[in-house]
Chain A
Amino acid sequence: MAISQMVGASIKRREDPRLVTGTGSYVDDLPQTAIVHMVVVRSTDPHARITGIDTTRAKEADGVIAVFTGKELLSEFGAPLPVTDCFVPTKKYPKHYPLAIDKVRYVGEPVAIVLASSLSAAQDAAERVEVRYESLPPVVDIEKAIEKGAPVLHDEVGSNLSYDVKFAAGDIEAAFREAEVKITQRLIQQRLIPIAVEPRGVVADYRTWARKLTIWSSTQIPHFVKVWAAVILGIPESDVRVVAPEVGGGFGSKIRVYPEEILTALASRRLGRPVKWIEDRGENTKATHHGRSQIWDVEIAAKRDGTVLGIRPTQWLDLGAYCSQFGTFQVLGMLVAQGAYKMKAFDGRAVGVFTNRTPTDAYRGAGRPEATYLIERVMDLVARETGVDPVEVRRKNFVRVEDQPFTTLLGLTYDSGDYRITLDRALQMVDYQGLRREQAEKRKQGKYLGIGLSTYIEICGLGPAVPTQAAVGVSLWGMSVVNVHFTGKATVIIGSSPHGQGHETTYAQVAADVLGIPVEDIDVQHGDTAIGPMGMDTYGSRSTALDGNAVHISAMKVQEKARKIAAHLLEAAEGDVVYEGGKAYVKGTPSKAVTIQEIAVAAFQTSRLPKGMEGGLEATTFFDPTNFVWPFGAHIAVVEIDAETGATRILRYVAVDDCGTRINPMVVDGQLHGGIAQGIGQALFEEAVYDEAGQLRTGSLLDYLVPTAADLPSFELEATITPSPVNPLGTKGIGEAGTIASSPAIINAIVDALAPFGVKDVSMPATPEKVWQLMHRNGGTKR
């Protein structure tokens, strides 16, 4: 079927034929010769001094090539692992090396590496490494960590407090003076384990005489890994190449430079052979960073009519044992906690503490799910307290379309959006009034139906270079190269690094529309630092808003050059030539056109080019937009609680999302499905549990409950389209929206269902046991 416009078309993904046949190559699938297997010896103690490591017996084991400890390698680390500012430049944090030096601070911390000729030899030998620990008392609780007399993790920091900073604007005291309703609530963001189905893995190959290092890593950030591997290992950046092959999901968990990327490279340099490390799942639950792990306390000032005057939130963030590379990125939650609403004052406080647990960092949404959970719970708490319907509370407080571009109290400016429209449509889809009647009927029969709303907005498309540099320490832009070959086919190189998002398909669609080259003749390449300039990789729902637009702009530059060449070939004035559908012609005479194929040939034949024009048909773009992008939407969950067991069943999940222009609606919907499922996972099932001794109790997929197909419903999705004014395609991000929106929708629904029991809040995950307890805490009596 011929499609005249590719942007907006749900074409099938070109990535899929190789993936459905099992012929894509993830790190563990790369062909390997003479490879050395690395196994990491990890701490079994959450907090201890290392008094000695005896590697003798391990070194004597069959097949072992070498064993290294942190002390032995310390002199080779040119720098510690990187930490970025991420909204808290004043924070205190310790140096963190890829291997523990004299102390361990969480279970799973790398202590030594074993290198052997086979995986089983390396595994056997790792068990023969004897680490002597002098145990110290562990700290596993956010609040206890900063009590007086708590054991201190890092002497160089002096206490377990990393930072305590304010994000405030407006007169909060006045807001509380004016308030007719005051509410105080604690909200828990439990610790989560990301669980990409492909664990991490690295192959590093240092060629001694060529002095070139190649790292293949299951990462979201090959470009950043290249920079930091060069810095830490003291190798010129120009001699380092990082490749992200097929990557089996990330969700933020592959967003940082990890110890194993450095350790495999270092071992390869020492041994002169390629070194491979593949994370097993038990390792993954401890060695790959966790997400969330926060407590939010909020005080709310509101009026009887449901108007919210101001909020005073405190975010207690558990950094884990070290400050991870983007460890304080979750503080973004504080910056965007105002949500889709107007208010007079905001008085935020963000506190970061160290505990003896796996470091935390970005996990799908990173800060925005927390912000949305906070403000959407606030709306429902106000509704409950005032008796005003949660829909009306939202409508009353919404930023209106006439307020756009709206600037929040903390100074962020929303790009566009009419939040009433998505809400109205979602209400229609579920038949809100009908549902309320059904709910009342069912309550009479002892059945508990709940309706939960979440009218989220989110910030994404990181981002404009100047604010991102101030916020996260690096300028983030979009990068693309568009190159038309001699034969009129094109290659697009992008700076984003997809791991399931389908960029190979969607960016070809973008280029096809501009160049008029058939989409199947456009190849999109990514994930290899050797093929193009510095890219800023993939996280924070940034790729399409940044790199997608960079592709559009490069293609426009190429089109402009093609038009000039065409004018020369047609012996016409440049201004008279139009380019359209892969052809250029003089206005009014489309029959005498030159095709992109003819233009491309001419581009490689200097004699046929206009005087002074360089050959080739290629353009590069570094796209720096004027603002972030702000997707929004309305999600509604309808649940029923089983009165016998406390189990939550999701009857319907309806979502109306607006992410601006949708390049490939099928792919957009897919992102939403997965995102919603992950948010439901947090709301109902997932929690990383540590015992008081600092041991992870949910260190396998037996104990850590990732939602299965049987746990989830099908989702009902619709969209509105408000093109973003800050980029030429009008796109916003959609990779995290589902997760951001869905946890509060589910919890609001459960709390709504439990209203007859006087329940005002349920902490996540809302397990059957927890819900049952809430229903029976007053001996099962209803109010």
Chain B
Amino acid sequence: MRRRVAVTINGTSYEHEVEPRTLLVYYIREQAGLTGTHIGCDTSNCGACTVEIDGHTVKSCTMFAVQADGAQITTIEGLAKGSTLHPLQQAFWDEHGLQCGFCTPGMIMAAKQLLDRNPSPSEREIRLGLEGNLCRCTGYHNIVKAIQAAAKVMAPGAEAKAPASVS
């Protein structure tokens, strides 16, 4: 029995018939065609599939597409405004917060919620906040730096200016 699902992803409405067992992450990747959300495990440990649903960060492999019916979803593809990167995307770039990039979309989505909840986290708070997202390339060192840099830029009243860098 296929079921109807209607969601809004990054401001665009999608409506599809899906098998009830379809995980949301597969729906996002295959039905909506947004492949920036990745799959790195089958036990909800890696966080590569992290998205935002109705304002909350969720690992999209932990729910069925049908459970998201009616939801507002933001994925990594929805963060940049035109040709301007989101401050977190910019900071990951500036601070070399990624290597292979596979964990990056989930990492940035997790970091976004972290900063939404705590705009000026300590290093320890950042590290604890990222426990659900695995990166095998960076040792997290520059991910932490990137989130600290983004926090500065995103802080209320901060000049909306990317950190100086050579390019």
Contact = CB atoms under 8 A, between A and B. Distances in A.
Contacts, number: 186
Nearest to A10: B166
Contacts of B34: 22
B142 A251 contact: no
B102 A248 contact: yes
A667 interface: yes
Nearest to A501: B99
Contacts of A540: none
Interface in B103-140: 103-105, 108, 123, 126-128, 130-131, 133-140
B100 interface: yes
> Which of the four size classes fits the interface of chain B?
35 or more
A22 B75 contact: yes
A23 B36 contact: yes
Contacts of B42: 280-282, 700
B79 interface: yes
B36 A676 contact: no
B102 A17 contact: no
Interface in A16-38: 16-17, 19-26, 28-29
A701 B139 contact: no
A674 B99 CA distance: 9
Interface residues of A, number: 60
A386 B149 CA distance: 49
A13 to B, nearest CB: 7
A198 B49 CA distance: 12
Contacts of B166: 1, 3, 9-12
A199 B40 contact: yes
A537 to B, nearest CB: 16
A10 B93 CA distance: 12
B111 to A, nearest CB: 11
Contacts of A702: 43, 45
A42 interface: no
A10 B131 CA distance: 29
Given A281-B43, A701-B46, A21 B38 contact: no
B86 to A, nearest CB: 9
Given A20-B98, A26-B102, A197 B135 contact: yes
Interface stretch (A144-152, A307-315, A581-589, A707-715): A707-715
B92 interface: yes
A197 B40 contact: yes
Interface in B11-67: 19, 21, 29, 34-43, 45-46, 48
B101 A500 contact: yes
B85 interface: yes
B129 to A, nearest CB: 8
B101 A15 contact: yes
Contact of A712 (B19, B80, B102, B140): B140
Contact of A12 (B77, B94, B135, B140): B94
A197 B103 contact: yes
B2 interface: no
B93 A16 contact: yes
Given A670-B138, A701-B45, A20 B93 contact: yes
Nearest to B128: A710
Contacts of A360: none
A19 B104 contact: yes
A714 B43 CA distance: 28
B48 A197 contact: yes
Contacts of A715: 139, 141
A324 to B, nearest CB: 21
B96 interface: yes
Nearest to B94: A12
Contacts of A10: 166
Contacts of A714: 123, 141, 144
A280 B21 CA distance: 17
A136 interface: no
Contacts of B94: 12
Contacts of A677: 138-141
A501 B100 CA distance: 7
B77 A23 contact: yes
A761 interface: no
A246 B100 CA distance: 8
Nearest to A520: B167
Interface string B156-167: 000000000111
A678 interface: yes
A381 B147 CA distance: 42
A666 B142 CA distance: 10
B7 interface: no
Contacts of B136: 195-197, 249, 251, 674, 678, 706
A13 B96 contact: yes
A557 interface: no
B9 interface: no
A526 interface: no
A500 B99 contact: yes
A195 B165 CA distance: 32
B73 interface: no
B158 to A, nearest CB: 20
A698 to B, nearest CB: 12
A666 B98 CA distance: 12
B5 interface: no
Nearest to B143: A709
A7 B108 CA distance: 30
A20 B131 contact: no
Contact of B85 (A20, A195, A198, A706): A20
Contacts of B134: 195, 197, 701, 706, 708
A710 B128 CA distance: 5
B76 interface: yes
A44 B67 CA distance: 34
B33 to A, nearest CB: 9
A13 B75 contact: no
Interface in A250-304: 251, 280-282
A280 B40 CA distance: 8
A552 interface: no
Nearest to A21: B80
A198 B102 contact: yes
Nearest to A677: B139
Given A248-B101, A701-B41, 12 more contacts: A15-B101, A16-B101, A17-B85, A21-B80, A22-B36, A671-B99, A673-B139, A673-B140, A674-B137, A706-B134, A708-B131, A709-B135
19 contacts: A10-B166, A17-B85, A19-B101, A20-B104, A22-B37, A26-B35, A26-B38, A28-B29, A197-B136, A249-B99, A249-B137, A501-B99, A670-B99, A673-B140, A674-B99, A700-B45, A701-B41, A714-B123, A715-B141
Interface of B: 19, 21, 29, 34-43, 45-46, 48, 75-77, 79-80, 85, 89, 92-94, 96, 98-105, 108, 123, 126-128, 130-131, 133-144, 165-167
Interface of A: 1, 3, 9-13, 15-17, 19-26, 28-29, 120, 195-199, 246-249, 251, 280-282, 499-502, 666-667, 669-671, 673-678, 700-702, 706, 708-710, 712, 714-715, 738
Q: Which 8 A-B pairs have the closest CB atoms?
A: A22-B36, A248-B102, A19-B101, A677-B139, A500-B100, A500-B99, A22-B76, A701-B45
